[in-house]
Structure 1
Amino acid sequence: MVEFNVAVVGAGYVGLTTAACLASLGHRVVCADVNLAKLDGLSHGETTIREPGLRELVVNGLETGRLRFVLGAAAAASGADVVFVCVPTPMGRDGAADLTTLETVVAELRDVLPPGCVVVNKSTVPVGTAVRTAELLGRADVAVVSNPEFLREGSAVEDFLNPDRIVIGSEVPEAAGRVAALYELLGAPVLRTGPASAEIIKYASNSYLATRLSFVNAIAELCEHMGADIDDVRKGMGFDRRIGMSFLRPGPGWGGSCLPKDTRALLRSAEAVGCEFPILHAAIVTNVRQQELVVDRVRQAVGGRLAGVRVGLLGLTFKAGTDDLRDSPALVIAERLATEGAELLGYDPGVPSPVPGMTDRIRLMETAYHAASGAAALILLTEWPEFRDLDWERIADLLAGRTVVDTRNLLDPFVLNKAGLAHWCVGRPAPQDLAKDHSTA
């Protein structure tokens, strides 16, 4: 295997995972960021990102000398064979991806890139960004490649080192070959295509997954009205090899740092070229409706009005196994409850302290039991496995009401019923006494 000098710009989820994993594959990697405090911690093997195996890879990279951290993109690019750009591309006000940070980095790199270097867009970017990047660089001796990431938070290292596929988009065969060579040891299928196709593959993949989730949530609502069980329905669907089991679990709506912004960015891109995309629009609308349905269930459980009612929240992150609160459906639901006047007590094992701008309307508690204390209803919003093993008889004693709203279908109904709790979950007929339990603290 050929060893390359690699620069990675950005030390967030994607950038740090990319840097640490490429170093573990034998490349010499320099990772750059603009946050000096973060860089100082990383240089001492301290990671703030909750990702299994990531800290170990960082420490190993530092010890072997294959990984180091520097301040600023220009400092990392010197002597690089390949430069990965892994910076945020958040959703702008119009739904399109905001490329401000990416364009700033490209401007910083323009005059310091070595001749023959390859610049790789790893960030999720709209179609045409590779071409735009090349125009901004203005360097005929530097090729631009699109190499989208497919990393799931909570399993990013596993996904990087055991990928389903590696997508490489470039009009320059030599540049595409160099990027492919970086991943040679992984033995994964490599799809070489044009940059536009590579860019849309990422958006299309995430939008399809979001559409599956919206579809199964709509089926779950239908199950509730018709006396069916969504768990049996999704299993019956998933055994069909054309469908499969993944992304067929109902919940409080999809969220996170990717699906909301990527679906809207793809929809905005379609609108910009005059292409209608009603199925994707419907998926987004259905997701909003799912969050409203959860609020309706809680409102019903406490007697119809949320003003002055204490509600306990179990889980705040957008999924278990991560500390990421970005676009979390739990926080969207919490915001709606708070807007109607509910007093919110929340607990999440991944969020030990308040996060300004994210948890401002929630009083964070030390344990799940503290979050349940005096609550008229308790809502499970994130599928942390430890919630299944709580002492539910103790929870029942602590609650002022008797209802648990399980938006992830995580809990055992038998255990909750034994504790004397009314239990509502997604896609199953609601318990008869859900609307009768109006007790408050």
Structure 2
Amino acid sequence: MRITMIGSGYVGLVSGACFSDFGHDVCCVDMDQAKIDALHAGRMPIFEPGLDLLVASNVAAGRLTFTTDLASAVAGADAIFIAVGTPSRRGDGHADLRYVFAATEEIAAAITGPTVVVTKSTVPVGTGDRVEAILREKRPDIDVAVVSNPEFLREGAAIGDFKRPDRIVIGTDDDRARQVMRDVYRPLYLGESPILFTSRRTSELIKYAANAFLATKITFINEIADLCEAVGADVRDVSRGIGLDNRIGKKFLHAGPGYGGSCFPKDTLALLKTAEDYQTPVHIVEAVVKVNDSRKRAMGRKVLHALGDTPRGKTVALLGLTFKPNTDDMRDAPSLAIATALADAGVTVRTHDPEGMGPAKAMMPDLVYCTDAYDAAEGADAVVIVTEWDAYRALDLPRLKGLMAGPIMVDLRNVYQRADVEQAGFTYTAVGR
């Protein structure tokens, strides 16, 4: 099949590369000429394990191409995916859909025959209706079906998630569109990945409901972690104890400094705004958003408390900046609030991250960026683990202590065992333990 992917960011590039690996002919479109030039040169605009090799192999096979010319890419395509950004709109939290609708306008001007337009971007309920209205108004002469096909990709594991999905959700009531989407996903369907066909609006809501529920699990265990600290329990054992219940499940029950990234923060806000528009408040999600925001600030206070009564003038080594490992994504990362709280208290912040320092420097230029964890720990009064990168899971603790001015470790991801850290001479602070 011939597939056009409009938007060559995280979702568009991963999806396009995986579709081409299935044997489809895929053209990824982006208006950013510099990004397209970089892709032609084999340079990825994002860090995602294995993506560079996947792209290179399919470019070499002639199945994957890149362009800024939307019209030529759209003409004759069997399926056109819209995978542009839908960030939170400044001021009110609604999803900003201007890029979706701009892409729709361009598609309408370029299509040459019957096709299927697929919203891969995360969009509020009813967006597909508006996309369809634009297409029908602009091109009443062409049979165009509009489908919702949300993505469920975890940053750092996106290729595996795409090729071995828990489910594929397709929202359409059009028989021709159903068949086209079956053909698009045939390699996965033959591998018995379940395809769930729903109405378009149901499909749009599934994405938001899924992310809100996962954000709720994270926020729930973080509040239980606070209770564990107060009563002398261990949140790791609580997580295991409840996670072994199949009705609950063990995933997303790891206590930490709060969720961030490209999806959960903006999608929970967008769901709140949709519920507000339809006058059906979702109070649990409201609480999740508030608790998560306060959680990040509380982690800054936790570090300051570990430094003692006079944190001003001290130095902290902050290990990890991205919101999770195996990505360079800094969007709504807990490190932003933590570093700000430390800087506001007069603490010098030395930091390292395997992939996130480039984006972080643009957001926090006053931090001291170091070559590795040991460089960051040089002269520090405390070391704080914010992101659980593999590079921080087996640190040489005696070496680390020897570099530091003060032997304090604040482990916000519960990476280490208390006994091991204390045996190395550190004062150890964890989460929910």
Q: Could you tell me the TM-score, scaled by structure 2's length?
A: 0.95
1:87 to 78, 84, 88: 84
In the other structure, the counterpart of 2:115 is: 117
Q: Which moved more, 1:183-192 or 1:370-379?
A: 370-379
Write out aligned runs for 1:202-351 (5 A).
202-351=207-356
TM-superposed CA distance for 1:352, in Å, is: 4.8
Distance of 1:72 and 1:268 partners within structure 2: 35
Give per-residue Cα distances to partners, 1:95-131, cap 9 Å, x unaligned.
Answer: 1100111111111111111221111000000001000
Letter in 2 for 1:126: P
- CA–CA separation in structure 2 for the residues paired with 1:354 and 1:211: 28
Deviations 1:223-259 (A, max 9, x none): 0000101111110101111111100000100010000
1:151 equivalent to 2:153? Answer yes
Q: 1:117-171: CA deviations, max 9, x gaps?
A: 1110000000010001111222342111100000000011100011111111113
* Matched residue, 2:36: 39
Which residue matches 1:399? 404
| Other structure's SS at 1:311 match | strand
1:200 to 2:205 alignment: yes
Unaligned stretches of 5+ residues in structure 2: none
| 1:388/1:412 contact within 8 Å kept | no
**What amino acid maps onto 2:180 in structure 1?**
R
Q: Could you say which residue in structure 1 is the equivalent of 2:182?
A: 180
Residues 135, 306 of structure 1: alpha-carbon distance in 2 compared, 3 angstrom cutoff: farther
Looking at structure 2, the residues matched to 220 and 364 of structure 1 have their Cα atoms a distance apart, in angstroms, of 31
Q: 1:360 aligns with which of 359, 362, 365?
A: 365
1:308-332 CA distances to partner (integer Å, 9 max, x unpaired)?
Answer: 3322100000101111111111222
Contact 2:397/2:424, CA 8 A, preserved across alignment: yes
Q: Is the 8 A contact 2:301 2:341 kept in 1?
A: no
8 Å CA contact 1:307, 1:341 repeated in 2: yes
Deviation of residue 388 (structure 1)?
1.9
In the alignment, which residue of structure 1 is the partner of 2:101? 103
Checking the alignment, whether the CA contact within 8 Å between 2:234 and 2:432 is kept in structure 1 is yes
Instruction: Give 1:127's match in structure 2, choosing from 122, 125, 131.
Output: 125
Equivalent position amino acid for 1:144 in 2: V
**Which residue does 1:142 correspond to in 2?**
144
Give the share of equivalent positions with the same residue, in percent.
Answer: 45
Residues 354 and 374 of structure 1: is their aligned pair in 2 closer, same or farther, counting only changes over 3 Å? Answer: farther
Q: CA deviation at 1:306?
A: 3.9
Say whether residues 1:167 and 2:169 are aligned partners.
yes
In the TM superposition, what is the alpha-carbon distance from 1:345 to its structure 2 partner? Answer: 0.8
Instruction: Provide the rounded CA distance (Å) in 1 between the counterparts of 2:166 and 2:34.
Output: 35
Partners of 1:45 and 1:346 in 2: how far apart? 29
Q: Deviating runs (4+, > 6 A) in structure 1?
A: none
2:23 aligned partner: 26
Residue 427 in 1 paired to residue 427 in 2? no
Q: Distance in 1 between matches of 2:182 and 2:275?
A: 30
Query: 1:57: how far off?
Result: 1.7
Deviation at 1:305, TM superposition (A): 4.5
Q: 1:106/1:306 Cα in 2 relative to 1: closer, same or farther (>3 Å)?
A: farther
State the SS of the aligned residue for 1:69.
strand
How do 1:403-418 and structure 2 match up within 5 A?
403-418=408-423
SS in structure 1 opposite 2:109?
Answer: coil
Equivalent-residue separation in structure 2 for 1:113 and 1:191 (angstroms): 28
CA apart distance, 1:46: 2.7
Q: What's the CA shift string for 1:359-391, capped at 9, x where partnerless?
A: 323221111112112222221000012212111
Q: Is the 8 A contact 1:353 1:364 kept in 2?
A: no
Residues 227, 181 of structure 1: CA spacing in aligned structure 2 closer, same or farther, 3 A cutoff? same
Deviation at 1:289, TM superposition (A): 2.5
3-state SS of 1:404 partner: strand
- Contact preservation (8 Å) 1:252, 1:294: yes
Instruction: Give the Cα–Cα distance (whole angstroms) in 1 for the partners of residues 333 and 301 of structure 2.
Output: 18
**2:62 aligned residue:** 65
Secondary structure of 1:383 counterpart: coil
Quote the Cα distance in structure 1 between the aligned partners of 2:31 and 2:269.
Answer: 28
Q: Which moved more, 1:160-169 or 1:38-47?
A: 38-47
Deviation sequence 1:392-421 (CA, Å, 0-9, x none)? 112112222221110000123222112210
Task: Name which of structure 1's ranges 414-423 and 146-155 shifts more when overlaid on structure 2.
Answer: 414-423
CA contact (8 A) 2:351 2:370 kept: yes
Give the whole-Å Cα distance in 2 for the aligned partners of 1:271 and 1:306.
43
Q: 2:206 aligns to what SS in structure 1?
A: helix
**CA distance in 2: counterparts of 1:11 and 1:353, whole angstroms:** 20
* Consecutive unaligned residues in structure 1, runs of 5 or more: 429-441
Tell me how far apart the structure 1 counterparts of residues 45 and 71 of structure 2 sit (CA, whole Å): 24
Residues 300, 125 of structure 1: CA spacing in aligned structure 2 closer, same or farther, 3 A cutoff? same
C-alpha root-mean-square deviation of aligned residues, in Å?
A: 1.4
**Partner letter of residue 300 of structure 1?**
H
Cα separation, partners in 2 of 1:354 and 1:399, compared to 1, 3 Å: farther
Does the aligned pair in 2 maintain the 1:73–1:105 contact within 8 Å? no
